[in-house]
Amino acid sequence: MRIAVPREVAALERRVALVPDGVARLVKAGHQVIVEAGAGERAGFPDASYERAGAALGTDAGMVSGADVVVKVQRPTPEEADLLGQGSTLVALMAPATAGELLPRLAARGITTFAMELVPRTTKAQSMDALSSQATVAGYKAVLVGAGALPRFLPMLTTAAGTIAPARVFVVGAGVAGLQAIATARRLGGVVSAFDVRPAVREQVQSLGATFVEAGAAAEGAGGYAKELAADEQQRVLAAVATHIRDIDLVITTAQIPGRPAPVLVTRAMLETMRPGSVVVDLAAESGGNCEATRAGQTVTEAGVTVIGPVNLASTMPFHASQMYGRNILTFLEYIIRDGAIAAAAGDPIAGPMCLTSGGSVRG
């Protein structure tokens, strides 16, 4: 098959959908891979590395229009979508909840679209799970961003000028990003605590050396994701967070509910109880934010607390983020391509739930 890897055009996007190692594996399997010139440069993968892996370099729209499969990080713009060949296959992070106008456009061209954020949370699909791989990057980087904004050290230090107590870090949401944030904060010497509405993650939090904060609420939905809390449970959670957050120096919030706005777990009233100079890094900024003061893509100060709302944080570490995402893409392609054709029926347990458009129609 002819597989195209275009350069990403979205603002602030530095990742690339396939790295040279993945290209080499596809070429060895008999596929033709065309990479747009410069597609990997911002992630640390120059054109020469793709050529050594067996890819051809493309420089015009024909590389996309003539491809059987197009793989991307971000969903295509309308202009990019119009370049896709009739009946081709698109694989990308599609952000389905906000792709309403794009999907009919793709369906009208007979394009089969697979959303990488809809990979089922099953053992068989684990190596394709792009949300988890990119959340790992974001969780790690969030701690570094927060530590850089703190006006104090993270670890305990014993110096000639006296002993400096370690900073206290509170991670809200112990999914993949949260667990990585916990591990990173611990490595940097912080005293870490964490909260999640899913009781099942308690042991994971504790195994990383963090304290689990009880809130008297439990809400675990399908696929291991959190689900929306009932009103009384939400009040118990807010009360528990409010009590705990007063003595915290760095808060990392990661709580999100698929298809819904992020729950507000840190209110402005809570910020007023925190010490001046404290920092909140809100990884849910793009879906509304876990902190009431969060502004996506901005850093604001409320009641002396710095609130950071990073956007596309995984893209700020494009080398490893691309390696991980590229492995997700590669594994998925190897799964759906059989005997030189796309062989993924609507009832397929992995590809089926990921399919947004097929046969000229929008699915769902």
Q: What CATH number does the domain containing 16 carry?
A: 3.40.50.720
Interstrand relation of 112-115 and 69-74 (parallel, antiparallel or unpaired) = unpaired
**197 shares a domain with 308:** yes
Does residue 189 sit within a domain? yes
E strand map for 39-152? 56-58, 69-74, 89-93, 112-115
The active-site residue out of 126, 206, 207, 361 is: 126
Quote the number of domains for the chain.
2
129 is catalytic: yes
Coil/strand/helix, residue 130: helix
Does residue 130 sit within a domain? no
Would you say residue 225 has pLDDT above 60? no
pLDDT, residue 191, reads 98
| Closest to 45 measured CA to CA, from 14, 72, 67 | 14
Coil/strand/helix, residue 52: helix
pLDDT, residue 258, reads 78
Does residue 133 sit within a domain? no
**291 shares a domain with 156:** yes
Does residue 101 sit within a domain? yes
68 is catalytic: no
**162 shares a domain with 298:** yes
The active-site residue out of 52, 121, 246, 275 is: 121
Would you say residue 331 has pLDDT above 90? yes
pLDDT, residue 231, reads 77
Would you say residue 224 has pLDDT above 60? no
Cα first-last separation, the chain: 28
Would you say residue 74 has pLDDT above 90? yes
pLDDT digits 0-9 by tens, 262-300: 999 999 999 999 999 999 999 999 999 999 999 999 999
| Distance in angstroms (rounded) separating the CA atoms of residues 115 and 304 | 40
Does residue 124 sit within a domain? no
Would you say residue 188 has pLDDT above 70? yes
pLDDT, residue 217, reads 64
pLDDT digits 0-9 by tens, 249-258: 999 999 988 7
Interstrand relation of 162-164 and 279-282 (parallel, antiparallel or unpaired) = unpaired
Would you say residue 19 has pLDDT above 80? yes
Does residue 131 sit within a domain? no
pLDDT, residue 229, reads 66
**193 shares a domain with 75:** no
126 is catalytic: yes
**164 shares a domain with 223:** yes
Among 285, 301, 316, the domain boundary falls at 316
**30 shares a domain with 12:** yes
pLDDT, residue 226, reads 55
| Distance in angstroms (rounded) separating the CA atoms of residues 324 and 319 | 9
pLDDT grade for 220, boundaries at 50, 70 and 90:
low
Does residue 267 sit within a domain? yes
pLDDT digits 0-9 by tens, 83-117: 999 999 999 999 998 898 999 999 999 999 999 99
121 is catalytic: yes
225 is catalytic: yes
The active-site residue out of 132, 133, 134, 322 is: 132
CB burial class (10 A; 0-12, 13-18, 19+) of residue 207?
exposed
pLDDT, residue 198, reads 82
**298 shares a domain with 219:** yes
**335 shares a domain with 201:** no
The per-residue pLDDT of the chain, averaged, comes to 93
What domain range is 277 assigned to? 138-316
| Distance in angstroms (rounded) separating the CA atoms of residues 92 and 171 | 29
Coil/strand/helix, residue 226: strand
Would you say residue 70 has pLDDT above 90? yes
- Count the neighbouring beta carbons within 10 Å of the beta carbon of residue 86: 9
Interval 214-238 mean pLDDT: 69
**334 shares a domain with 277:** no
Does residue 125 sit within a domain? no
**248 shares a domain with 312:** yes
- Count the neighbouring beta carbons within 10 Å of the beta carbon of residue 293: 21
Contact 137, 313 (CB under 8 A): yes
The active-site residue out of 68, 129, 196, 282 is: 129
**245 shares a domain with 207:** yes
| Distance in angstroms (rounded) separating the CA atoms of residues 12 and 314 | 10
Interval 43-67 mean pLDDT: 94
pLDDT grade for 259, boundaries at 50, 70 and 90:
confident
The active-site residue out of 7, 82, 109, 225 is: 225
Contact 319, 305 (CB under 8 A): no
**159 shares a domain with 112:** no
